[in-house]
Amino acid sequence: MSSGGARPKVVVCKDLGPAMPPLLERKDVDIVVWPEDRSCERAWLLENIKGAAGVLVLLPDKVNQELLDAAGTNLRVVSTVSVGYEHIDVPLIGAERHTSWLYADVLTEAVADITIMLALMAGRNDGVAYTLVKNGEWCKPNLGWSPFTFCGPQLSTSLSSPTRTVGFLGFGRIAQATLSRLIPFGITHCIYTGSPTSQPDIARDDALQAKYNLKGLNRVDIDRLARESDVLFLLTPGGKETYHLVDAAFLRKMKPMSVLVNTSRGSVVDSDALATALREKWIWGAGLDVVEGEPAITSNHPLVKEPRCVMVPHIGSATFQTRLDMATLAIDNLIGGVFGGEMPAELKRPA
């Protein structure tokens, strides 16, 4: 440390609950924690980061020139409690002065879990059914049992529908964890569209097809993905390359009984087009953990008003276990960066 024998200062922009005690018990760092249960105030952060060797930030905390100038030359590490790093100006941090760590794998399982949940909820009319019970309407006499009341398309295969095709826009870790969970539902075919810049991996695909005893696992173009998927999962990065890939033209190609699930980034979907698709029954239903423009989603949002749209407020990784793992990993990254030790999840800077 440039401050000689003094303990390095680390600034933590959020009390990370059960992940905090191991950090707070350390004698070798001077820890400053934003004390309130809301996002860290910018003025507080700019004041407290002066001379810090490390800072632990969250999505709302922008890491830009202003923050780096306030920190000064002691700063060695920026660690964020997130997979995304849109809030960090990575080139500015640079390779020499500062280093930044993130992580990703840690939330794969939690997001795959909620992806399955949303596929089931969107197919099974669950939003409507749940709301009806909560409103005390289960007792209404017009709800007598009828063979097709509340029916939706079945995720699993059945006597009369012995094949099911799942589609993935993006086929990374979370997509593959989702596919593994779908296998016991009797899924028979898997198709996916990968990034145009990525190479097909036929050996990997053949191995997955054999492992899961699928009738087919194929990389396809986006047109075929739209046309053939019974359930379509969006698990692709955000950004310009995927902006509104799911638009009106895409949705018009989908099957009328298909279900769309988005647990990646809201910007992949044109919300107005999806609302139209649901209203005009181009597709059966949608399950969304992310929506373009979130969290500024009011009751007037066209998707909030669609009964066949199940939306939850970006809680894909929101389990105690995963958030504890995320926080612990962020703290490990922070301490590793401050002392030049092991950094479990370092962000690879663009070349």
Pairing relationship of beta strands 231-234 and 216-219 according to DSSP bridges = unpaired
Its sign, for the CA torsion 218, 173, 314, 245, is negative
Q: Please, are residues 88 and 100 in contact by the beta-carbon 8 Å criterion? A: yes
| Nearer to its own copies among residue 245 and residue 290 (C-beta) | 290
Pick one of 125, 193, 262, 263: the residue that binds its own copies (CB under 8 A). Answer: 125
Q: Rounded to whole angstroms, how far apart are CA atoms 189 and 207?
A: 14
Pick one of 33, 77, 155, 174: the residue that binds its own copies (CB under 8 A). Answer: 155
Q: How far is the CB of 129 from its own copies (least distance, A)?
A: 4
Q: Does 112 bind its own copies (CB under 8 A)?
A: yes
Q: Rounded to whole angstroms, how far apart are CA atoms 270 and 282?
A: 15
Q: How far is the CB of 264 from its own copies (least distance, A)?
A: 17
Q: Does 88 bind its own copies (CB under 8 A)?
A: no
Q: Tokens 């999962």 label which residue?
A: 233
What are the distances in angstroms from CA 107 to CA 58, 91, 185, 329? Answer: 16, 25, 23, 11
Q: Please, are residues 169 and 244 in contact by the beta-carbon 8 Å criterion? A: no
| Nearer to its own copies among residue 24 and residue 202 (C-beta) | 24
Q: Please, are residues 235 and 115 in contact by the beta-carbon 8 Å criterion? A: yes
Q: How far is the CB of 301 from its own copies (least distance, A)?
A: 8
Pick one of 183, 220, 222, 248: the residue that binds its own copies (CB under 8 A). Answer: 183
Q: Which of 98, 164, 265, 308 is catalytic?
A: 265
Q: How far is the CB of 81 from its own copies (least distance, A)?
A: 7
Residue numbers 21-60 binding its own copies by CB under 8 A: 37-39, 58-60
Q: How far is the CB of 154 from its own copies (least distance, A)?
A: 4
Pick one of 23, 51, 126, 170: the residue that binds its own copies (CB under 8 A). Answer: 126
Q: Does 110 bind its own copies (CB under 8 A)?
A: yes
Instruction: For residue 272, give the DSSP letter.
Output: H
Residue numbers 195-214 binding its own copies by CB under 8 A: none
Residue numbers 225-264 binding its own copies by CB under 8 A: 257
Q: Please, are residues 115 and 174 in contact by the beta-carbon 8 Å criterion? A: yes
Counting residues that bind its own copies (by CB under 8 A) gives: 88
Q: How far is CA 215 from the centre of its chain?
A: 29
Does 265 participate in catalysis according to the annotation?
Answer: yes
Pick one of 65, 197, 213, 300: the residue that binds its own copies (CB under 8 A). Answer: 300
Q: Does 144 bind its own copies (CB under 8 A)?
A: yes
Q: Tokens 């009751």 label which residue?
A: 299
Which tokens hold the place of 22?
């191991």
Show which residues are catalytic. Answer: 265, 294, 314
